[in-house]
Structure 1
Amino acid sequence: LQAPEVAQSISKMTFITATDGNHGRGIAWSAKKLGAKCVVLMPRGTSSERLENIQKLGADAWITDVNYDATVAMAADMAEKNGWTLVQDTSWDGYEEIPTYIMQGYLTMAKEAREQLGEEVPTHVFLQAGVGSMAGAVASFLKSAYGDRAPKIVVVEPFSADCIYKTAAADDGELKVVEGDLKTIMAGLACGKPCTLGWKELRACASAYLRIQESVAATGVRVLSSPLKEDPRILAGESGAAPIGAVIALLADPNLSEIKNKLQLNKSSKILCFLTEGVTDRKSFLEIVWEGKYPSAI
């Protein structure tokens, strides 16, 4: 793509996307590497640090006055009006080719995890979901890779943005949309409308769906940043730490024993989580780790 004859054509292109942070940062980085223009829209409530990280990569980025799903619609409308290329990590009827490529890209980390695990097979995999494209892709890969030995897939979402949970609970063939501000510290998961492709895979592969409080994700951040013994220190963002926080809550909170037993979590369980986000908002990270914001109820 960086060959002169290709780069000249790409330099005339403009890529546009809507993002809570990570996806847009990736698109901005890629556009910079390819010499293309990039426009990134971010939903209301996005932290200034996440915006600045994208702007530093040369993208024309700003925060809208609407939530994530409305921001996606805004980006799609701008792409159509201006002849730009929409690179969105969610799909809908008539827009599936590029989201499929993105979901295939997510398979890289699933493949690497399987290679690192070798002969070890996880019994449970906890996957965070915003629109569900990452979770759907990884779940599908694991189901295909392990066959009859495939682990239980547990999907984790914030209470305030639980579109996958609501869709699964209804199980009526219709995608459920969560409206409003979708306010949560798990900014990367603050999505109100499921990805059609992601949900298709999750419906076929997932075993359970969980909604978690803010304190659960915050616990995940704190535990990862303050490890015991020889465990490595991991600096994680709230969306990335959400699955680990859910695992800790299930294993440590006696009030959740019924759910733990239904999931068959016990001392012999081998649990795999995917950390999808580093510290992308230092202010929030310090509030959680230093100031003890969102304390655990365990």
Structure 2
Amino acid sequence: DIGVAKIWYKDESQRFHLKSFKALGGAYAVARQLQARVAEVTGVVPGIQDILDHKFDDILRQLVISCATDGNHGRSVAWGCQMFGCQCVIYIHRDVSIARAQAMEALGAKVIRITGNYDESVKQADSDAKQLGRIIVSDTSYEGYMEIPKDVALGYTVLLSESIEQMDSEIPTHVFIQGGVGGVASAVCAYFWELWGERRPRLIIVEPEKANCLQESARAGSPVTVEGDLDTLMAGLACGEVSILAWDILSIGANDFLTVNEETVPLTMQLLALGFDGDPPIEAGESAVGGLAALISAQNNPEYAQALGLDENSRIYILGTEGATDPELYQQLISTK
């Protein structure tokens, strides 16, 4: 018991067979791009079922979809490409685990590992796509690339619609949401803002200490790049540059920005894996637990709890973004003493 009235934990560990909410965004955006390319050739926008029925394979098999990823978005893109029958090239950075790379290769993607960090892999994917005529389906936006990430974010709203129903339309007082480039955080912010207006919950962005580009941007009042290795256990949040589209929303919609200590990550994963006080066990990967870890840390610090307006009446919404997307690493972390 951490002294709040209620915690809703939206568990995305079993989303399709990809074990991440990202499955909702990347594959959907791939479908949208393929519909557009078929329409350019035929003059008619095909239905998704027409693509799944392989009616346009002669067009689609010539197309190459590409992106950079920490793992989960690329897996969703690769899955979409496999379903719809086009080619896929995924760029990963030096710290992406072998298991996550193999998961994308198992879906038919060609995986290219670079020696730089995540932000450098985004730039490499974009540069190669322009040179080789590939279609970038990224979950981050940057100058000259703004439209496709909107489709990715639109895919995420499926889980938010589910959440509203599962909470019986009760409004949380607080949302603790992982940062990264800001894509899912901005989707949550915009969705709840549009739905509830002034009654919307307080939005608290949570980031790793060494990859806190949103927090630093908030301090500066404009997008800031965090340099360096971006070293964190929370691999899906190892981002040094904010998404421009996401920042446009979060700069006015986010209320607070927190970082979490790396030591809290395996401890929170273990808490969920064991089940707490009769709760069912939850499979939560490294990047899934940032929000809950931040809540627990804040409640153990009266000054932070007061600053965040947390008390015994608080109702908390937390998005558990992934399950064991690297099963071996997951087992190591939940077994750590």
TM-score normalized by the length of structure 2: 0.83
Correspondence for 1:45: 95
8 A Cα contact 1:217 1:246, kept in partner:
no
SS in 1 for 2:250: helix
Report the CA distance shift for 1:38/1:272 in structure 2 as closer, same or farther (over 3 A): same
C-alpha displacement at 1:3, in angstroms? Answer: 4.0
Residue 185 in structure 1 maps to residue 224 in structure 2: no
Correspondence for 2:48: none
**Equivalences for 1:1-298 in 2 at 5 Å?**
1-171=51-221, 174-251=222-299, 253=300, 256-292=301-337
SS in 2 for 1:214: coil
SS in 2 for 1:28: helix
Q: Deviations over 1:159-205 (max 9, x none)?
A: 1100000000111xx31001111110000000000000011111121
Distance 1:288 1:263 in 2: 29
SS in 2 for 1:264: coil
SS in 1 for 2:289: helix
Q: Deviations over 1:143-172 (max 9, x none)?
A: 11111211000000001100000000111x
Matching residue's letter, 1:33: M
Matching residue's letter, 1:259: Y
Q: Deviations over 1:40-96 (max 9, x none)?
A: 111111111111111111100132101000000000011001000001110012101
C-alpha displacement at 1:248, in angstroms? Answer: 1.4
- Which is worse superposed, 234-243 or 222-231? 222-231
8 A Cα contact 1:221 1:245, kept in partner:
no
Correspondence for 1:296: none
C-alpha displacement at 1:244, in angstroms? Answer: 1.0
How well do the aligned residues superpose, as a CA RMSD in angstroms?
1.2
Distance 1:263 1:24 in 2: 34
SS in 2 for 1:274: strand
Distance 1:222 1:4 in 2: 44
Matching residue's letter, 1:272: Y
- Which is worse superposed, 1-10 or 238-247? 1-10
C-alpha displacement at 1:247, in angstroms? Answer: 1.1
Report the CA distance shift for 1:268/1:20 in structure 2 as closer, same or farther (over 3 A): same
SS in 2 for 1:230: coil
Matching residue's letter, 1:281: D
TM-score normalized by the length of structure 1: 0.93
Equivalent pairs counted in the alignment come to 287
The unaligned stretches of length 5 or more in structure 2 are 1-50
8 A Cα contact 1:236 1:278, kept in partner:
yes
Distance 2:328 2:302 in 1: 34
Distance 2:270 2:314 in 1: 23
SS in 2 for 1:111: helix
The unaligned stretches of length 5 or more in structure 1 are 293-298
Distance 1:119 1:40 in 2: 39
- Which is worse superposed, 277-286 or 143-152? 277-286
C-alpha displacement at 1:229, in angstroms? Answer: 3.5
8 A Cα contact 1:122 1:151, kept in partner:
yes
SS in 2 for 1:235: coil
Distance 1:230 1:152 in 2: 28
Q: Which runs of 4+ in 1 moved over 4 A?
A: none
Q: Deviations over 1:3-43 (max 9, x none)?
A: 44433311211001100000000000000001111001111
Q: Which has the higher contact order (CA 8 A, sep 6+)?
A: 2
Q: Deviations over 1:217-251 (max 9, x none)?
A: 22221111111233121111111111111111112
Distance 1:269 1:238 in 2: 25
